[in-house]
A and B are shown apart, each in its own frame.
Chain A
Amino acid sequence: MTPLLLSAYTATTCLGRGLDATRNALRAGRSGLVPCTFETVQLDTWMGEVAKVDAEQLPAALAIYDCRNNRLTQMGLETDGFADRVREAIAHYGKSRVGVFLGTSTAGILQTELAYRRRDAETGALPDDFHYRTTHNSFSLAEFTRDYFGLEGMAMAISTACSSSAKVFAAAARQLELGTIDAAIVGGVDTLCLTTLYGFASLQLTSAQPCRPYDAARNGISVGEGAAFALLERCEQPAPGSVLLLGTGESSDAYHMSSPHPEGLGARMAMEAALRSAGLTAGDIDYINLHGTSTPANDAAEGKAVSALFANRVPCSSTKGATGHTLGAAGAVEAIICALTLTDGFLPGSPGTENVDPAIPVDYLLKTRDGKVSRALTNSFGFGGSNCSLILGVAK
């Protein structure tokens, strides 16, 4: 593919709001995970909660969108000057030429979970103040974002569980390459809810401790939440040092709904496709941000795929020990983390991980260290066997 410019980007997770909070935490090897106290949830697990989400007030004209997921969406958009850059792009290209491509797994389903506690005692009806379309529906964050900026062009949500907001980069890149749009707001937002916390617990995939990706003793995930966005544009002569999307690769496991292909075949195909798309080989990659959820099966399968392609020659880490697994936001969060490694010259370590699983022969980074990264690859894999790898690079 023709490289695309990330002309603005931002990330908000339990590490804090924005790029500085994120880079400082990653540099310091700090984790944002805390014991789970979300809502009325009673589970022995840890979580990555974003501070002050519910203090966010939506504009009165968009009050119908009000829910935790859109509060976090707005919070993310209004961080690091991202919304201002979007408005500049709209002024430049026009409101029908800036597309919206956002990933989520559960959008604002929390709103429905809460509404089901307030059903009419006689009729069973949901309360009048519950708005399905603008909160629960998977499109709600994309429609909110489109309306927030007064856009009139194409928009879509991609919802492939935990690969969602990696795949938005691929979908937006296609439309930019075709010239149907001139800029794209890409990203992902997912927020804590009962469905995912109790759901991952039901699959025995949550850990009672902070998650420990790639650790020999890893035993499950820590569910997190996050919002991350990038503004993608075509750019013939990017300024030196700017961050580029170089390649995207997608594949399907065709294996199981909630377990990865045991040999990591789909994961390997996605990474190979991303390298092909970028016109690169394995030796060109300086850092891999792993999917690394910290479940025994995921890390083993991904590790096999990474090891098959890169042997143990490329430093890699999962940053989910820091952020938790932000599910449908993870792809975008970790793409932005890759952007920080490219611009700042560091390779993030893996808070929580103590003893790297000796059965996984990759160059796993326990501690953050300085290092020049020219090209980074990031993996995102989801339920249903949905895989996506992205390659980001820095312009010379």
Chain B
Amino acid sequence: MSRPLTAWIEGIGFLAPGLPDWPTARAVLRDEMPLTVAPSVLPAPSILPAAERRRASRVVKLTLAVGLEAAAHAGADVATLATVFSASGADGHNCHALCEQLATDDRQISPTRFHNSVHNAAAGYWGIATGAMAPCQVICAYDASFGAGLIDALGQVVLDHQPTLLIAYDSEYPEPLFAKRPVPDVAGVALLLTPERSERSLASITVTPASAAAEPLADAALEALRVSIPALRALPLLQKLACGEAGQVCLDYLPPMQLQVDIGLC
């Protein structure tokens, strides 16, 4: 009685240390150019009014960058898209500032810091920026956050029969939390998933539970990114997509449960 978790991918957005966008990541994953590891570069979100653009936090810039890139890649109208955000943590710098102040005698925290502290802050700003009133999911599953987001996004695509934008992303904490949760930098992956094949479809994916280990990426620098930033557990899938290869990959999810992704080409 089980129905497969399956969808078509129409657009990809990507941002990671040394990999500012999907075309660059695609070239590196295809082994056409080396990965030069450098701090992640966050573009100014042109979709926001100037005042908001200056105030936008790193996670807001990150999610707008990868989400808008995937939507543009697919030629989709962001105002119409359902979204699934999945992140292993919220805005680490904002969290640190709040905890630091709450440990002092002056606990009158800033109201803006408070509303930016919610796990769904980036999703909230996405809605304000894009005007999208469709359902918006916000998930956390620690290191398994990419897989959890993928599972829910595919569920929405299959059952609600609507294009859904998955935005998996992470950001760093400053010290002293960094020592407890050493995510090195911001990174994000966005996939625009659709229920039907179209002329824009790049590939199909079908996800099933598995128990095999994820295969490490051959490039040590890419593998270091995969294991240090939860959203980048998606890299084996992205490498197949970059190379235009059909086949199977196993992604790390929630031990002992892994996710097998079957990729079909268009």
A195 touching B117, Cβ below 8 Å: yes
A254 touching B135, Cβ below 8 Å: no
Contacts of B102 in A (CB 8 A): 113, 116, 194-195, 198
Total contacting residues, chain A, CB less than 8 A = 66
Contacts of A142 in B (CB 8 A): 141
A257 touching B115, Cβ below 8 Å: yes
A158 touching B138, Cβ below 8 Å: yes
- Given A154-B254, A179-B3, residue A258 in contact with residue B155 (CB < 8 A): no
Asked if B1 is an interface residue, CB under 8 A from chain A, the answer is: yes
B116 touching A257, Cβ below 8 Å: yes
Contacts of A384 in B (CB 8 A): 118, 120-121, 123-125, 127, 138
Binds A, one of B19-27, B69-77, B174-182: B174-182
Residue of B103, B132, B158 near A116 (CB, 8 A) is: B103
Contact with A along B106-127 (1 / 0, CB 8 A): 0111110011111111011101
Q: How far is the CB of B55 from chain A (nearest CB, A)?
A: 12
Asked if B196 is an interface residue, CB under 8 A from chain A, the answer is: no
A160 touching B120, Cβ below 8 Å: yes
Contact with B along A190-230 (1 / 0, CB 8 A): 00001100111011100000000000000000000000000
Contacts of B43 in A (CB 8 A): none
Interface range on chain B (Cβ under 8 Å from partner): 35 or more
Contact with B along A139-174 (1 / 0, CB 8 A): 100110010000011111111110000010001001
Contacts of A202 in B (CB 8 A): 108-111, 114
The CA-CA distance from A241 to B2 in the complex, in Å, is 28
The CA-CA distance from A304 to B161 in the complex, in Å, is 30
The CA-CA distance from A195 to B109 in the complex, in Å, is 9
Contacts of B110 in A (CB 8 A): 202
Contact with B along A168-185 (1 / 0, CB 8 A): 000100110111100000
Asked if A386 is an interface residue, CB under 8 A from chain B, the answer is: yes
A256 touching B128, Cβ below 8 Å: yes
B155 touching A178, Cβ below 8 Å: yes
- Given A133-B181, A254-B130, residue A160 in contact with residue B140 (CB < 8 A): no
Q: How far is the CB of A118 from chain B (nearest CB, A)?
A: 9
Residue of B117, B155, B177, B256 near A132 (CB, 8 A) is: B177
A159 touching B119, Cβ below 8 Å: yes
In this complex, what residue of B is CB-closest to A41?
A: B107
The CA-CA distance from A266 to B134 in the complex, in Å, is 9
A174 touching B152, Cβ below 8 Å: yes
Contact with A along B129-165 (1 / 0, CB 8 A): 0111111111111101100100110011011000000
B148 touching A155, Cβ below 8 Å: yes
The CA-CA distance from A255 to B175 in the complex, in Å, is 33
In this complex, what residue of A is CB-closest to B85?
A: A160
Contacts of A233 in B (CB 8 A): none
Asked if A79 is an interface residue, CB under 8 A from chain B, the answer is: no
Residue of B90, B98, B132, B158 near A252 (CB, 8 A) is: B132
Contacts of A175 in B (CB 8 A): 151, 155
In this complex, what residue of A is CB-closest to B131?
A: A254
The CA-CA distance from A105 to B138 in the complex, in Å, is 11
Contacts of B176 in A (CB 8 A): 119, 123-126
Residue of A116, A167, A180, A385 near B137 (CB, 8 A) is: A167
Contacts of B115 in A (CB 8 A): 199, 203, 257-258, 383
B residues adjacent to A (C-beta < 8 A): 1-3, 5, 88-90, 95, 98-100, 102-103, 107-111, 114-121, 123-125, 127-128, 130-142, 144-145, 148, 151-152, 155-156, 158-159, 175-177, 179-181, 209, 254, 256-257
Name 30 interchain pairs, CB-CB below 8 A, sorted by A.
A117-B103, A119-B176, A132-B177, A132-B180, A138-B90, A139-B140, A139-B144, A152-B256, A154-B151, A155-B148, A157-B139, A159-B118, A171-B155, A178-B159, A194-B107, A195-B98, A195-B102, A202-B108, A202-B111, A202-B114, A203-B111, A203-B115, A254-B127, A254-B133, A257-B115, A257-B121, A382-B118, A384-B120, A384-B125, A384-B138
A residues adjacent to B (C-beta < 8 A): 96, 105, 109, 112-113, 116-117, 119, 123-126, 130-133, 137-139, 142-143, 146, 152-161, 167, 171, 174-175, 177-180, 194-195, 198-200, 202-204, 250-258, 265-266, 269, 273, 382-386
Beyond A175-B151, A252-B136: 18 further Cβ-contacts under 8 Å? Answer: A133-B181, A137-B88, A139-B141, A152-B256, A154-B254, A155-B141, A160-B120, A161-B120, A167-B137, A171-B137, A171-B155, A180-B2, A252-B133, A254-B130, A254-B133, A383-B118, A384-B123, A384-B124
Question: Which 3 residue pairs of A and B lie closest in terms of their CB atoms, listed nearest first?
Answer: A384-B124, A199-B114, A159-B119
